[in-house]
Structure 1
Amino acid sequence: MNTSWEALRRRLTGAPALPGDALYAQLATGFNVAITAKPAAVVEARDAQDVAETVRFAAATGRAVAVQATGHGLADTYDEAILVHTGRLDECVVHAEEGWARVGAGVRWQQVLDAAAPHGLAPLAGSAPGVGVVGYTTGGGLGPVARTYGWASDRVRAVELVTGDGVLRRVTASDEPDLFWAVRGGKGALGIVTALEFDLIQLPSLYAGALYYAAADAPAVVHRWREWSSTLPPEATTSLAFLQLPPMPGVPEPLAGKFTVAVRFAWTSSAESGEAVLAPMRAAATPLIDAVQTIPYAALGMIHADPVEPMPVVEETDLFSSFPPEAADALLAVAGPSSGSPQVMVEVRQLGGALAAPAQHPSALCHRDAAFSLVMIGVPMPPVAPHASGVREALGPWLTGGALPNLSSATGAERIARSYDPATLSRLTALAAEYDPAHVFRVGQVPVR
């Protein structure tokens, strides 16, 4: 095989971009600009065959392969690897009568939300609709209505992916079930997904949004939220976040440059019943902003109001086994308004409900029994990482030490071991050895072997 870049170029519909090319800089940049990717080349794939050709070329030349579509999952510099950019795989088709959708690897959730909305249908999208469907779903997919409807990965009907041997495969629960198990929760361990098919739900609107409180009300709000969330039925999904948002365009004046507390809430039943359920939180203190209302499901991004522009961040995550009063006090002490916390956001998200239910088809997604998730996001400056470690240490009695694959993108054996229990990791590793004999998928968020 001719192993020159020109030889690869002749085999592609798309094109490889090399360092120094304008397209290289554009495609290699991720959402987290604190990480600078430095792959040997970036291939802008135009179809699934381009992906397969690139993987075969990498295996023949001894190079690693990584993948990026929207850049939200960037967690590695990809030194000397070939980065496959799947942003051009933009097929998005809603089969309204049957209630499912098919999307290419470059599709973002907002595209699916907008395509499904005219039919009263909805995908189990994440809190940030600008995130890519594939990376989010293969990492489990924890969204704003997750306690009602569960994990996005459990709604997958079929996956098309190129495995490490360069073969394009279509996998379902009955066709290649091992791969179907692995790709739902295993992220990039087994290959590069080129298309996904998944079920939609019937939910044209919901009662949802966020309440924002002043720093002085943090203790009352945190303890009320802890008590209140313990009584919620599965129609409710909620999270609590300490915010220190910078004064910048898009940040409301009452929140800009201040420490505030946000209570996010999504209710999948009637607005009247949702208002009654939320009443105890509205009574905990007077909100600076009350943005909870009936919204079109396609506007669910307003619930968390996640950033939409690339920015430099440092992320950390863990899972709670429980969140008792002592844990709430510890969180306030180490990350509350008087703590001197440098974090832009510290979030505790309630899990349980449908998230804890067994999947119809078992998958590689672990930690379904966790009670809450913890996520910290800060800007990369010296105090951030040590502070995040201090938060985890202070909350240690109630943390499991586990992590969900999508929360806080990271690499390395320690992070992978936190994402999967030993049996799951062993099975993923064995499957990777079978379907990726040249070990081309050895960078990014994949099992180490």
Structure 2
Amino acid sequence: MTTAPERALPATRPPLLDLAARLRGRLLLPGGDRFTTRTAALPLPPLAVVEAATAEDVVAAVRFAGRHGLELAVQATGLGATPCSESTLLVATAGLDECTVHEEGWARVGAGVRWQRVLDEAGAHGLAALAGSSPAAGVVGQTLGGGLGPVARTYGLASDRVRAFEVVTGDGVLRRVTPTEHPDLFWGLRGGRGALGVVTAVEFDLLAVDELYAGALEFDGADAATVLHRWASWSAGLPRQATTSIALLRSAGERVVAVRFAWVGDADAGAAVLAPLRECAVPLHDGVRVRPYADMGQIHRVSAPPGPVSEAQLLLDALPPATIEVLLAVAGPAAASPQLLVELRQLGGAIARFPERASAFSHRDGAFSLVAVGPADDGAAEHAAGLLAALAPWSSGRGLATFGREEHPGALARVYDPATLRRLAGLAAHYDPHRILAGARGLHG
């Protein structure tokens, strides 16, 4: 988890009541119950919280922060642990909840909208959105990180489908960003995470898909070696119609290995492709079936872990048997691993396809992504560092913008190639002249 760098407090306390008078939403100050609830998960509380009701509220907050030497951080749909300090103005965008699905095949949503709402409303029209693995997550946040979902090998990334953003940049200007309007920002926002501004709304294309053959196979942890080795060899021959991942899970003291599978097309053909996994051991749960696309949350069956977490990631270039043995030795059921989840996702397919419009999302050529998530206070970060070091022989040390929370320069150098990182840093310097955006810390060096 990252911590906020030292930033000098303003010499004179900022006139927060002046900011409150400019807002349609609410300004929360320390001492109030709502402020306490809103900031409970943060390592350090901010100076104040702006609960934005409109994009103009975000403009007011950004300009106020710039005038008074404050840092500005964003809290989108949840209560995530955004790094803050007493010199941070926190903007909560959950109130920007516009969600409009157009029958012609596109949608416009606000920064406070979660994927499940879009899936449900699009599904009513026989349409689908490229949601992430957890439909409870926010649309904007995941799209800014690229958006790697359960059907990504077939359809690519959520960020590849974006038509337009509305964003308040660090200079306090609300801009509409498209391939032809501010094309530099259009490039950088797709994959650049929160470095270039506060996105208030996004517009994106939908898919004409109404159902999938998809779900999860869950096996007892005792079968982890058999299932992992079979998955590694089986996934090597998958066509682009299939997207899959495998995870070692710890829940209620039990160790489980879960195979996630999504197939676009004929269900019988999908069942034939999945058969080698179904037959390798007796599943505790078999949830792979034909289901409405809007039910895609049942593929990964994930929920947000309680409390703060550590998250580590690594791109793997290959997955030979030796890699599986190392993974099992360090994080398998017999290893007493503190991780709640250790996941491998197969990449390739449409993920690796260079999109029509280039973006800041880097390392599309990775073969597999590995992610480890554990409790922040249970030694999980140290264990994850050891896991990544053990797997280093099969990796070039890179990661994806989709995963990870660290924003320091070293972490960003793993997530972006050098040319992309230089370009993002240049954009951040241009659009955030006062360096107020917390999401751009690492780009400023």
TM-score normalised by length of structure 2: 0.94
Counterpart of 2:37 (choices 26, 30, 36) is 26
Equivalents in 2 of 1:443, 1:221: separation in Å? 39
| Preserved contact between residue 239 and residue 349 of structure 1 (Cα < 8 Å) | yes
| Preserved contact between residue 183 and residue 190 of structure 1 (Cα < 8 Å) | yes
What is the Cα deviation at residue 6 of structure 1? Answer: 1.0
Counterpart of 1:77 (choices 58, 67, 84) is 84
- Report the AA paired with residue 227 of structure 1: S
Counterpart of 1:329 (choices 325, 328, 333) is 325
**SS of corresponding position for 1:173:** coil
Identity %: 53
| Preserved contact between residue 115 and residue 131 of structure 2 (Cα < 8 Å) | yes
Structure 1 residue aligned with 2:210 = 204
Task: Return the structure number with greater relative CO, CA threshold 8 A, min gap 6.
Answer: 1
| Preserved contact between residue 76 and residue 444 of structure 1 (Cα < 8 Å) | no
Ranges in structure 1 where 5+ consecutive residues have no aligned partner: 247-256
| Preserved contact between residue 17 and residue 23 of structure 1 (Cα < 8 Å) | yes
Counterpart of 2:94 (choices 75, 87, 90) is 87
The answer to whether residue 37 in structure 2 is matched with residue 41 in structure 1 is no
- Report the AA paired with residue 430 of structure 1: G
Structure 1 residue aligned with 2:23 = 12
| Preserved contact between residue 144 and residue 189 of structure 2 (Cα < 8 Å) | yes
Counterpart of 2:370 (choices 369, 374, 377) is 374
**SS of corresponding position for 2:271:** helix
* Change in 2 beyond 3 A, CA 1:322/1:121: same
Structure 2 residue aligned with 1:129 = 135
Aligned Cα RMSD in Å? Answer: 1.7
- Report the AA paired with residue 190 of structure 1: L
List aligned pairs for 1:345-364, cutoff 5 A. Answer: 345-364=341-360
* Change in 2 beyond 3 A, CA 1:3/1:340: closer
What is the Cα deviation at residue 16 of structure 1? Answer: 1.5
Structure 2 residue aligned with 1:251 = none
Equivalents in 1 of 2:433, 2:174: separation in Å? 15
**SS of corresponding position for 1:261:** strand
| Preserved contact between residue 28 and residue 83 of structure 1 (Cα < 8 Å) | no
Equivalents in 2 of 1:401, 1:174: separation in Å? 35
- Report the AA paired with residue 184 of structure 2: D
Instruction: Say how many residue pairs are matched.
Output: 434
Structure 1 residue aligned with 2:173 = 167
The answer to whether residue 201 in structure 2 is matched with residue 186 in structure 1 is no
Counterpart of 1:53 (choices 60, 66, 73) is 60
The answer to whether residue 219 in structure 2 is matched with residue 219 in structure 1 is no
The answer to whether residue 300 in structure 2 is matched with residue 304 in structure 1 is yes
| Preserved contact between residue 29 and residue 49 of structure 2 (Cα < 8 Å) | yes
Q: Quick check: 165-174 or 5-14, which moved more? A: 5-14
The answer to whether residue 272 in structure 2 is matched with residue 265 in structure 1 is no
- Report the AA paired with residue 207 of structure 2: I
| Preserved contact between residue 322 and residue 398 of structure 1 (Cα < 8 Å) | yes
What is the Cα deviation at residue 74 of structure 1? Answer: 3.4
Equivalents in 1 of 2:417, 2:354: separation in Å? 16
What is the Cα deviation at residue 88 of structure 1? Answer: 0.7
- Report the AA paired with residue 339 of structure 1: A
Counterpart of 2:391 (choices 390, 395, 404) is 395
- Report the AA paired with residue 63 of structure 1: L
**SS of corresponding position for 2:256:** strand
**SS of corresponding position for 1:187:** coil
| Preserved contact between residue 239 and residue 264 of structure 1 (Cα < 8 Å) | yes
What is the Cα deviation at residue 405 of structure 1? Answer: 2.1
User: Over residues 244-275 of structure 1, what are the superposed CA-to-partner deviations in whole Å (9 max), with x where a residue is unaligned?
Assistant: 112xxxxxxxxxx2212111111111111110
User: Over residues 159-179 of structure 1, what are the superposed CA-to-partner deviations in whole Å (9 max), with x where a residue is unaligned?
Assistant: 000011100000100111001
Structure 1 residue aligned with 2:9 = none
Equivalents in 2 of 1:232, 1:28: separation in Å? 44
| Preserved contact between residue 344 and residue 378 of structure 1 (Cα < 8 Å) | yes
User: Over residues 276-310 of structure 1, what are the superposed CA-to-partner deviations in whole Å (9 max), with x where a residue is unaligned?
Assistant: 00001011111111111111111111111111564
Equivalents in 2 of 1:444, 1:163: separation in Å? 11
| Preserved contact between residue 194 and residue 439 of structure 2 (Cα < 8 Å) | no
User: Over residues 33-60 of structure 1, what are the superposed CA-to-partner deviations in whole Å (9 max), with x where a residue is unaligned?
Assistant: 4x43411110011101110111011000
Structure 1 residue aligned with 2:4 = none
What is the Cα deviation at residue 377 of structure 1? Answer: 1.1
Equivalents in 2 of 1:382, 1:194: separation in Å? 36
**SS of corresponding position for 2:107:** strand
What is the Cα deviation at residue 72 of structure 1? Answer: 6.6
List aligned pairs for 1:414-425, cutoff 5 A. Answer: 414-425=410-421
